[in-house]
Amino acid sequence: MSRRTLILLRRALHYKSFILGIAILLFFIGLSIYAEVTWPFEEAIVLWNNPEAWLEYPKFAKPEWITVFTGKRELRGSLILDSRVANLTECVVEIYENKSLTMCKDLYKEREILAVGNQRILSVITEITFNYEYDEFPSSGKYEVYVNTTEKVYVDLILVKPNGLEIRLEGGFYTAGTILKTLEVKPGELSRIQLNYAEVVKKTYGVDVDVSKIEPVKLLFIDDKLFIEKGIYKPLNGTYKLVVSIYSTDINATAEIRVLIHGTIYGIAGTDRLGRDLFMAIAWGAPIAIAFGLTASVLSTLLTMVLAAISAWYGGVLDNAMARINEIFMIIPFLPTIIMLRLFYGLDLWGMLWIIILFSVWGSGLKTMRAMFLQIREMPYIEAARAYGASSARIIIRYMVPRVIPVLIPNIVIAIPSFVFLEAALAILGVSDPRLITWGKVLEDAYENAALTQGHYHWILGPAIALFFMAIAFALIGFTLDRIFNPRLREL
């Protein structure tokens, strides 16, 4: 590192804005390293674009830190009750940060052959006991029945609540295969759970309840007395028992059950409509944003400088030709052209980057930089270089370009956020690379799914805050460098 560079760095460190900008930028660089280490690029792309990989994660889950402000206990990740887990004391699994954490109390399974007349009937009773100690209802849920038999199997699935109320989730005959049911319900329809709950409440408490507007998953965990007597929706905490009864004439039959109960909070940034971890998108959006913005800013500025120097030095026909090309590019609508090229040729993000650089090089900055080089061309030391026979290339590279570099460095830094925001804007318009994990792509998904009107603010705030701080970082660094390289600004 040269002595002049050290002096400039020491001068920059006197500005708090520069230190703050560097600190924010280092945070994003650290986030980029974390993303690469935790989710290698190719694996991250495959994982993010595979909805099947996120089926066990809660959808629209809020960030975990929200509970610091609400003070409520909420289910983190998802609870999985799986009767296929044998000989385990703890059998409920919580999916969190790609790890499985056991959380439940007990698993009991009894398999016997019953004699009914001249027939032998297989009976398998499985009980899964677990605790629910939260202040909020689960967000959603689903269950799967796995049947392997040559005959029909009768499956009875009952949830026993802490107050002894029994709600039947499933009851019927099944053949070999997998039965997948969701605990969600279509508008205007009543599910089996809703009908069974109303029937059980009628028998137990002697009252009719309207369950048409209550989601089935909430009915499974609702405090029945508060609901019936006061109309209050509150979870009933305590020990629950899931009882699975299997009956079949095929004594070799097997049938298992797997129940997923999705929570309401997950991770640092929450999840989206597919259950994808938004922190993963924010972490991987950082290196992509830095690479895109830095590449576009550096290349476009340097190429503009080279073209402006050539135009100013040689003049004549070449200067006129470059001026006409510059005017053509200035009247071509930039954004519609980018969108058209993306849709016609299927360009990826880096393909669009070169188009953006092309428009930036031949933009309005070319005339401004050409004017600077015209002034430099008339300087006495340029005349001296001509006199001792220096070539045009040497004069441009050794004597003209170094005079504008102090002006270019702050401009390069300040221009980076504009390219980052441009990528985000293109993504929101639906013309970004659909495979990449970028902040703009996350915002596009949030916009398409009406995240703001649906109350999923975390889906928007994460990438929006990241974009804001990225712009702040480069702006603080760029304006500080501008004050250092520009003596007039240093006095302000």
Question: Do both 335 and 476 map to the same domain?
Answer: yes
Question: Do both 175 and 281 map to the same domain?
Answer: no
What pLDDT score was predicted for residue 102? Answer: 36
Per-residue pLDDT band for 185 (boundaries 50, 70, 90) equals low
Q: Which of 253-262, 298-307, 444-453 has the lowest mean pLDDT?
A: 253-262
Domain end (from 262, 287, 309) = 262
Question: Do both 370 and 224 map to the same domain?
Answer: no
Q: Is residue 404 within 8 Å of 418, Cβ to Cβ? A: no
Domain end (from 262, 297, 316) = 262
Per-residue pLDDT band for 391 (boundaries 50, 70, 90) equals confident
CB atoms within 10 A of CB 441: 26
Determine, yes or no, domain membership for 53: no
Determine, yes or no, domain membership for 80: yes
For the whole model, what pTM was predicted? Answer: 0.83
Question: Do both 132 and 224 map to the same domain?
Answer: yes
Q: How far is 230 from 233, CA to CA, in rounded Å?
A: 9
List pLDDT tens digits, range 5-62. 677 777 777 888 889 999 999 999 999 999 999 999 999 999 999 998 898 899 999 9
Question: Do both 358 and 451 map to the same domain?
Answer: yes
> What is the count of structural domains for the chain?
2
Q: How far is 309 from 401, CA to CA, in rounded Å?
A: 7
Question: Do both 312 and 195 map to the same domain?
Answer: no
Question: Do both 257 and 281 map to the same domain?
Answer: no
What average pLDDT does the chain have? 83
- Burial of 492 (C-beta count, 10 Å sphere; 0-12/13-18/19+): exposed
- Residue 400 is part of a domain; what is its CATH number? 1.10.3720
Domain end (from 193, 228, 262) = 262
List pLDDT tens digits, range 318-360. 889 988 998 888 888 888 888 888 888 877 778 888 888 988 8
Determine, yes or no, domain membership for 268: no
Expressed as residue numbers, the domain containing 315 is 3-47+277-490
Question: Do both 221 and 321 map to the same domain?
Answer: no
Q: Which residue has the tokens 């972490």?
A: 283
What pLDDT score was predicted for residue 56? Answer: 87
Determine, yes or no, domain membership for 424: yes
How much is the average pLDDT of 80-96? 52
Question: Do both 186 and 141 map to the same domain?
Answer: yes
Determine, yes or no, domain membership for 56: no
pLDDT > 70 in the chain, percent: 89
How much is the average pLDDT of 295-304? 91
pLDDT > 90 in the chain, percent: 29
Q: Taking CA 114 as the corner, what is the angle to CA 109 and CA 117, rounded to the nearest 5 degrees?
A: 165
Q: Is residue 90 within 8 Å of 154, Cβ to Cβ? A: no
What pLDDT score was predicted for residue 403? Answer: 83
Question: Do both 252 and 300 map to the same domain?
Answer: no
**Res 115 pLDDT > 90:** no
Determine, yes or no, domain membership for 15: yes
Backbone angles phi, psi at 180, to 5 degrees: -110, 125
Determine, yes or no, domain membership for 118: yes
Question: Do both 159 and 185 map to the same domain?
Answer: yes
Q: Which of 215-224, 365-374, 385-394 has the lowest mean pLDDT?
A: 385-394
Determine, yes or no, domain membership for 269: no
What pLDDT score was predicted for residue 105? Answer: 44
Per-residue pLDDT band for 104 (boundaries 50, 70, 90) equals very low
Per-residue pLDDT band for 97 (boundaries 50, 70, 90) equals very low
Q: Which residue has the tokens 């007039």?
A: 488
What pLDDT score was predicted for residue 90? Answer: 37
Sign of CA dihedral 433, 436, 438, 441: positive
Q: Is residue 377 within 8 Å of 312, Cβ to Cβ? A: yes
Q: In what order do the strands lie in the sheet with 140-148?
A: 99-102, 92-96, 78-82, 254-262, 140-148, 177-182
Question: Do both 79 and 110 map to the same domain?
Answer: yes
